[in-house]
Each structure stands twice: as structure tokens, then as C-alpha cells.
Amino acid sequence: MSRRLATEIAGLKLANPTMLAAGVLGLTGSSLRKVVEAGAGAVVTKSLGLKPREGYSNPTVVQVDCGLLNAMGLPNPGVSHFGEEMREVKETGVPIIVSIYGFSSEEFAKAAEVAVNVGADALELNVSCPHVEETGAEIGSDPELVTEVVRKVKNKVDKPVFVKLTPNVANIVEVAKAAVETGAEAITAINTVRAMAIEIETTRPLLANKIGGLSGPAIKPIAVRCVYEIYREVDVPVIGCGGITDWRDAVEFMLAGASAVQIGTAIAFKGLEVFKSVTRGIDAYVRKKGFGSVKDIVGLAQNF
Ligand code: SIN
């Protein structure tokens, strides 16, 4: 792996700027380990809460023309049951970011504490799930609630805190600023876009939950715009997420201001090989442009 690709996010050392996005292959130690072996610079778990949660009934994921639509309902075994899974990935030395959610700031803080106890190197606060009531985007659309969640989590744990934001708000920059002013060490932008699809023969919504979140190529320009706007207003790393399918997408996010990129939906279409092809492509681009490090291209599009 080329030295040009090495980067650092909030003190975490990444061999390359790709990460597994929350939600895909993030529920078991063995699947996370496969992602590490495929070349990801860091991995993010599926969002974990204080208590086990079943999630919605099927169908929870459907393919649409321009990506995937999902509404799983935050199914997970509960963060305290995740220690065993973590052990398998810990051995690799690749940073593990545990995604957590809660139905109150207190729950976020307790889940954060447990996540750190089971081995999280950093936390990603999911204040952006677009369809589970009383959590996710209901919190993440209000800068005051985000402030309260970040403050309570920061008071409880001593690991870097990332905040994953929803694009389903009027002003994502305001929310990012609230998170950073309260101590968030990185911002992940963006979670899925609230969306739905209907099967015209049966007249039924395709997802059991009817409304879900859209990911994949369709949301990339929205995500790039969010990264671009957030980067200029905060002084912590921004992690880009949303429709990264090949190295060109990753470079585009980095030029907008992303220090690293998260890949999720593309795994469903291209397999785990996507991590290697994206990192190779970023490396070749950086070299061709005459830079010594991937860090040198972050935010270049801001100069125009
Ligand atoms: C889900 O579990 O339904 C998705 C979670 C999310 O979008 O944050």
C-alpha cells in the first residue's frame, strides 16, 4: 500500500482514506474483518443501541433505478453484546468506529460508554436515520438536540466522536457547526435521503415501512454539496458518504473537502473489491497530479 494514501482522522491512523459506511456488513465480527481484509482503511459498525432491537419486517431493502432504498429499523443485538464481534476485528489493528443511536441524549451517552468498553476506537453518532421515530433525523434536524447529545457523550467518553448528519434538513451547516462547537472531532456527511418507491401493479409501497432512505449514485451530488458547504465552516475533518462507487467519486468528495470517504451501497453492486479499486485510483490520481499525499487534494475545489 502506497504511503501517499495514509491519513489521519481525529488521531486515528488510516492506511488509506476509505472506510466501510455504517449499515452494510457491520453486524458481525467476521463480516467486518472481511471488509478490513478487502482493504478498507477503517470500518464503521451497523448502528447499535442500548437494547437489542428487531427492526422492521421485510422487505427492508429494495433496488431502485439509481441505488438502494432501505428501511431496516435499526436492527441490532445491543451494543453490550457486540464485544465478541469486536474481538475478531480488533486483532487487525484497523480502526473500528462504532455507530450508535439512542432515543435520548442519556441513551446516546450510555451506549457510547458501553461501545468504548467493548473496544470502539471512535464513535459515530447516528443522528440521521430518516425514518425511525424519536431518534435519528428527529434529533439531527435540531442543532440544540445535537448539542445536547454531543455534550452528554463527550462527558462520558474519551474517544473521538464523529457525528453523522442527515441531508433532510434546511441547513446542514448549522447542525454541523453545533456538533463541532460542542466537541465533535469529525463530521460524516451524509446519511440517506428520505425516499419511497411504489409498485404500480400492486399499488403498494415497496418497503414494508413504506418510507426509507435512498443511497447510491442518485444522492452523490447532494452529498458532495453537503461536504463542500460543511468543510468551509468547520475546522474538523469531514468524512464524505453517499454514492461513492469508484475512485473518481472518492476524489470528487476529497476535492470538495472530505478527508476520507465511506463506501456502503457500492459493495452490493461491485463487491468488496471496490475498496482496492478506489484506493488504487485515488493513489494514481494523486501521483499524476504531482502531490505527495492524499491529504494535499482535500478541499482543492474550494479555491474557485
Ligand atoms: C436502518 O437501520 O433502517 C437504517 C439506519 C439509518 O439509516 O441510519
Distance CA(35)–CA(157), nearest Å, equals 27
Whether 167 and 190 have beta carbons less than 8 Å apart is answered as: yes
Single out the catalytic residue among 66, 129, 226, 241.
129
Sign of CA dihedral 265, 271, 272, 276: negative
Q: Where are the domains of the chain?
A: 3-54+76-192+216-303
Atom of ligand 1 nearest to the CA of 73: 3
Average per-residue pLDDT in the chain? 97
Is the distance from CB of 193 to CB of 64 less than 8 angstroms?
A: no
Q: Which residues line ligand 1 (CB under 6 A)?
A: 23, 47, 70-74, 126, 128-129, 136, 191-192, 213
Contact 183, 162 (CB under 8 A): no
- Residue of 99, 103, 192, 194 best suited for mutating to test ligand 1, as the one with most atoms within 8 Å of CB: 192
Distance (angstroms) between ligand 1 centre and the Cα of 30 equals 21
Q: Is the pLDDT of residue 81 over 90?
A: yes
List, in sequence order, every residue forming a beta bridge with 50; answer none if it has no partner.
none
Tens of pLDDT, residues 49-79: 999 999 999 999 999 999 999 999 999 999 9
pLDDT for 2 = 87
What distance in angstroms lies between residue 126's CA and the mean position of ligand 1's atoms? 9
Q: Is the pLDDT of residue 1 over 80?
A: no
Q: Which of 44, 46, 70 to mutate to test the pocket of ligand 1 (most atoms within 8 A of CB)?
A: 70
Name the residue at shortest CA distance from atom 6 of ligand 1. 129
- Calpha distance 217→266 (Å, rounded): 9
Q: Is the pTM of this model over 0.95?
A: yes
pLDDT band at 23; cut points 50, 70, 90? very high
Query: Which three cell numbers, joined as nine digits, stand for 222?
Result: 447532494
Atom of ligand 1 nearest to the CA of 101: 8
- Give yes or no for residue 27 having a pLDDT over 90: yes
Q: Are 85 and 74 in contact (CB under 8 A)?
A: no
How far apart CA 71 and CA 207 sit, in angstroms, is 7
Q: What percent of the chain stands above pLDDT 90?
A: 98
CA distance linking residue 38 with residue 35, whole number of Å: 5
Q: Is the pLDDT of residue 186 over 90?
A: yes
What CATH class does 3-54+76-192+216-303 carry? alpha beta
**129 carries an active-site annotation:** yes
Q: Which atom of ligand 1 is nearest to the CA of 72?
A: 3
Average pLDDT rounded to a whole number, residues 246-257? 98
Compute the distance from residue 74 Cα to the ligand 1 centre, in Å: 5
Atom of ligand 1 nearest to the CA of 56: 3
pLDDT at position 246 is: 98
